[in-house]
Chain A
Amino acid sequence: MNGKPRILVKGAGVAGMTAAVALAERGGDVTLYESGGRVGAGASWMAGGMLAPWCEAESAPEEVTAQSIDSVDWWADHVPDVTREGSLVLAPARDVGEIARFGRRTSHFQTVGTVEITQLEPDLAGRFHKGLFFPDEGHVDPRKALKALLARLEQLGGRAEFGEICPDEATFDWVVECTGLAAREKLDNLRGVRGEMLLLRCPDVTLHRPVRMLHPRIPVYIVPRADHVFMVGATMIESENAGGMTVRSMMELLNAAWTLHPGFAEAEILEMGTGLRPSYPDNMPRVVQDGKRIYINGMYRHGFLLSPARAREAADLIFGPQA
Chain B
Amino acid sequence: MAVSFYGQDVVSPLMLGTAQYPSPEILRDAVLAAQPGVVTVSLRRESAGERAGQAFWSLIQELKVPVLPNTAGCHTVKEAVTTAHMAREVFGTDWVKLEVIGELDTLQPDVFGLVEAARILTEDGFKVFPYTTEDLVVAEKLLAVGCEVLMPWGAPIGSGKGLNNVFGLRAMRAHFPGVPLVVDAGIGVPSHAAQALELGYDAVLINTAVAKAGDPVNMARAFRLAVEAGELARIADPMEERDMAVPSTPVAGKAMLA
Residue A308 at the B interface, CB < 8 A? no
Contact A281 to B24, CB < 8 A, known contacts A191-B55, A191-B56, A240-B53: yes
B161: which A residues are within 8 A, CB to CB? none
- Asked if A241 contacts B52 (CB within 8 A), the reply is yes
Q: Which of B23, B49, B54, B59 contacts A283 (CB 8 A)?
A: B23
Name the residue on A nearest B46 (C-beta): A241
Contact A59 to B22, CB < 8 A, known contacts A237-B44, A239-B46: yes
B50: which A residues are within 8 A, CB to CB? 241
> With A and B bound together, what is the CA distance between A243 and B45 in angstroms?
12
B44: which A residues are within 8 A, CB to CB? 237, 239
A241: which B residues are within 8 A, CB to CB? 46-47, 49-50, 52
Binary contact track A192-205/B, C-beta < 8 Å → 1, others 0: 10100000000000
B168: which A residues are within 8 A, CB to CB? none
- For chain B, the count of residues having a C-beta within 8 Å of the partner chain is 22
- Asked if B55 contacts A192 (CB within 8 A), the reply is yes
Residue A171 at the B interface, CB < 8 A? no
Binary contact track B2-40/A, C-beta < 8 Å → 1, others 0: 000000000000000000101111101000000000000
Residue B214 at the A interface, CB < 8 A? yes
The DSSP consensus for interface residues of chain B is helix
Residue A4 at the B interface, CB < 8 A? no
> With A and B bound together, what is the CA distance between A78 and B65 in angstroms?
49
Contact A240 to B23, CB < 8 A, known contacts A105-B214, A217-B158, A281-B28: no
A192: which B residues are within 8 A, CB to CB? 55
Among B49, B52, B158, B214, which residue has the most Cβ atoms of chain A within 10 A?
B52
- Asked if B46 contacts A237 (CB within 8 A), the reply is yes
A194: which B residues are within 8 A, CB to CB? 46-47, 52
> With A and B bound together, what is the CA distance between A237 and B59 in angstroms?
15
Q: Which A residues from 134 to 185 make CB contacts under 8 A with B? A: none
Q: Which B residues from 49 to 77 make CB contacts under 8 A with A? A: 49-50, 52-56, 59
A240: which B residues are within 8 A, CB to CB? 47, 52-55
- Asked if A281 contacts B59 (CB within 8 A), the reply is yes
Name the residue on B nearest A193 (C-beta): B56
> Footprint of B on A, CB under 8 Å?
59-61, 104-105, 191-192, 194, 216-217, 237-241, 243, 246, 281-284
For this complex, 21 residue pairs linking A to B, each with C-beta atoms less than 8 Å apart, are: A60-B22, A105-B214, A191-B24, A191-B55, A191-B56, A216-B208, A216-B212, A217-B158, A238-B56, A239-B47, A239-B53, A240-B47, A240-B55, A246-B46, A281-B23, A281-B24, A281-B25, A281-B28, A283-B22, A283-B23, A284-B23
> Footprint of A on B, CB under 8 Å?
20, 22-26, 28, 44, 46-47, 49-50, 52-56, 59, 158, 208, 212, 214
Given A191-B55, A241-B47, 17 additional A-B pairs, CB 8 A:
A105-B214, A194-B46, A217-B158, A237-B46, A237-B47, A238-B56, A239-B46, A239-B47, A239-B53, A240-B54, A240-B55, A241-B46, A241-B49, A241-B52, A281-B23, A281-B24, A283-B25
